[in-house]
Structure 1
Amino acid sequence: MADYRFIAAQREGDVVTIALNRPEKLNALTPAVFAELGAAVRASVEAGARALVLTGEGRFFCSGADIQPDGAGYDGLPEDLGQLLDQHYHPFVRQLAALEIPVVTALNGPCAGAGVSLALAGDIVVMGEGGYLLLAFVNIGLVPDAGATWLVARSVGRARALDMALTGERLGATEARSAGLVTRVVPDGEVLGQAQALAAKLASGPTRAMASIRQTVASALTLDFDATLEVEREHQTACGRTQDFAEAIAAFAQKRKPQFKGC
């Protein structure tokens, strides 16, 4: 994998783990961080990775946007925050949403601000027991961004989303799981290992079908029932013609485990 300044990327088998790597800044986000994240994801897909893990180095997953200049090339937040979102935040979260391979987020520590958006962008979210989610925007006079309002409201509903966003209070790991925001809560020291094992399991499966599953579920969040049936039909038709489906049928007949290739 390439060398990066603000992130780290490592491949094991068909899984690439990408880690935010600014632990001294609690993995705070800058345009340069997003540029490296986008490049690493593209490189992973081009190299044939079949699953991604997104995590952080140190004690935080991500503390959100870096609001302080560092005196070394980063000038802090610009006056036009909408332009910042358009140019850096939105391209990356859209890139994740459009991926045709599954994404597991390994929340090794607290997630705040836009870090919550990255955390919840995973198809499966593994969170450490000591972590928390914090929509901290209201505490500095801003609104949740990078998809946070959509991701939270679609998971927990209007009332709970407004409670989190308006109070700016922490939501612990157990409560986050109960609310449906995260998938699995594990001991803090096991977060990355369990996330990578899960990603490896996904990577060995029919990843083309998983891409269709990601797209179908995303559509179902905005379409009515009849429209969703049509989307399911479209994807099922395509998946029924894949080599993976043919392999699964052959394996069933031969009483063996199928060997999926993602095609």
Structure 2
Amino acid sequence: MIELSMADGVAEIVLNAPYKLNALDGAALTELDDAYDAAAAAATAGTVRALLIRGEGRAFCAGRDIAGVDGSNDDARGYLEGKLTPLLQKMAAFPAPTFAAAQGACLGVGLGLLIATDVVYVAENAKFGSPFGNLGATLDSGGTWLFTEALGAHRTLDLIYTSELISGAEAVSAGMFSRAMPAGALLDFTRAAAARAATGPTLAFIAGKDVVAGIRGKRLGLWDAVVLENEAQVALSATADYAEGFEAFAAKRKPGFTGK
């Protein structure tokens, strides 16, 4: 159900099981992990400089595929810690800018995939929340962290207790994701953003990504964050794209970045 294509510097990964709203079982997670490995190898080689992940059909991903799962004997630890968490960590560390286009249901594992992606564009009618109380389960895949960060403890627990969902427009207003737009415009907009990033200074983008991760993960104050920025800038000053950017500025021309 996982498809990978690579063209013009962009890797596109598609969750293609619309008949089950792209829900992911353990085998699908393995396929997705393999797709990220292949795309990361191409990024390391310099042939991929951006990645886009999307879901086919009316949903991005409705979560874990629990069809046939025996709730009295479920290996939840094997699925979450053995497969899902390592995949999400791999996605977050992808060596090029990553983008997601998300429509419809974005729940559980589907939400986790978005959290692990750098830039997330959502349809205004996308759906986020924690309907898992209906299964005797709770929010996972990093969703509790994201909701608490963006919405606060009270609203997060409200969503957990009521199983109500919020829209893509509401999620963006709360600062959870990048932008919301009509569903019909979503894929073209995201593809265009990924294509632009694929022609940019890849090392500079990854440096920015690392600084953001450091600030977020370590809860840094201003001056500690400035130290991270300074170190990143000094490292970038030795790259070919840095020199090209300055030369292009002086010559009043568009830079031709190579990602090196």
TM-score, scaled to structure 1: 0.90
Provide the rounded CA distance (Å) in 1 between the counterparts of 2:29 and 2:190: 22
Question: Alignment partner of 1:122: what SS?
Answer: coil
Provide the rounded CA distance (Å) in 1 between the counterparts of 2:134 and 2:236: 46
Provide the rounded CA distance (Å) in 2 between the counterparts of 1:135 and 1:51: 30
- Matched positions, count: 253
Question: Alignment partner of 2:32: what SS?
Answer: helix
Provide the rounded CA distance (Å) in 1 between the counterparts of 2:81 and 2:163: 24
Task: Say if 1:100 and 1:210, in contact at 8 Å, map to a contact too.
Answer: no
- Greater than 4 Å deviation, 4+ residue runs: 75-78
Provide the rounded CA distance (Å) in 2 between the counterparts of 1:152 and 1:14: 33
Question: Alignment partner of 2:256: what SS?
Answer: coil
1:52 aligns to 2:51 (yes or no)? yes
Give 5+ residue unaligned stretches, structure 1.
1-5, 70-74
Provide the rounded CA distance (Å) in 1 between the counterparts of 2:103 and 2:236: 35
Question: Alignment partner of 2:253: what SS?
Answer: coil
The residue aligned with 1:127 is 122
Amino acid at match of 2:236: C
Provide the rounded CA distance (Å) in 1 between the counterparts of 2:77 and 2:225: 32
The residue aligned with 2:183 is 188
Amino acid at match of 2:49: R
Task: Say if 2:123 and 2:169, in contact at 8 Å, map to a contact too.
Answer: no
C-alpha displacement of 1:235 = 1.6
C-alpha displacement of 1:141 = 1.9
1:25 aligns to 2:20 (yes or no)? yes
1:223 aligns to 2:219 (yes or no)? yes
Question: Alignment partner of 1:157: what SS?
Answer: helix
Amino acid at match of 1:163: D
1:155 aligns to 2:154 (yes or no)? no
Task: Say if 2:92 and 2:118, in contact at 8 Å, map to a contact too.
Answer: no
Task: Say if 1:117 and 1:151, in contact at 8 Å, map to a contact too.
Answer: no
Question: Alignment partner of 1:196: what SS?
Answer: helix
C-alpha displacement of 1:162 = 2.9
Q: Summarize the alignment of residues 10-21 of structure 1 with structure 2, pairs less than 5 Å apart.
A: 10-21=5-16
Provide the rounded CA distance (Å) in 1 between the counterparts of 2:230 and 2:152: 28
Question: Alignment partner of 1:111: what SS?
Answer: coil
The residue aligned with 1:67 is 66
Provide the rounded CA distance (Å) in 2 between the counterparts of 1:214 and 1:159: 30
Amino acid at match of 2:243: A
Amino acid at match of 1:236: Q
Q: Alpha carbons of 1:44 and 1:145: their partners in 2 closer, same or farther (altered >3 Å)?
A: same
Which of 234, 238, 241 is the aligned partner of 1:241? 238
C-alpha displacement of 1:126 = 1.1
Provide the rounded CA distance (Å) in 1 between the counterparts of 2:85 and 2:40: 19
C-alpha displacement of 1:51 = 0.7
Provide the rounded CA distance (Å) in 1 between the counterparts of 2:141 and 2:11: 23
Provide the rounded CA distance (Å) in 2 between the counterparts of 1:120 and 1:224: 20
Q: Alpha carbons of 1:24 and 1:16: their partners in 2 closer, same or farther (altered >3 Å)?
A: same
Name the % identity. 38
1:91 aligns to 2:81 (yes or no)? no
1:257 aligns to 2:254 (yes or no)? yes
Task: Say if 2:115 and 2:142, in contact at 8 Å, map to a contact too.
Answer: no
The structure where helix makes up a greater share of residues is: 2
Question: Alignment partner of 2:255: what SS?
Answer: coil
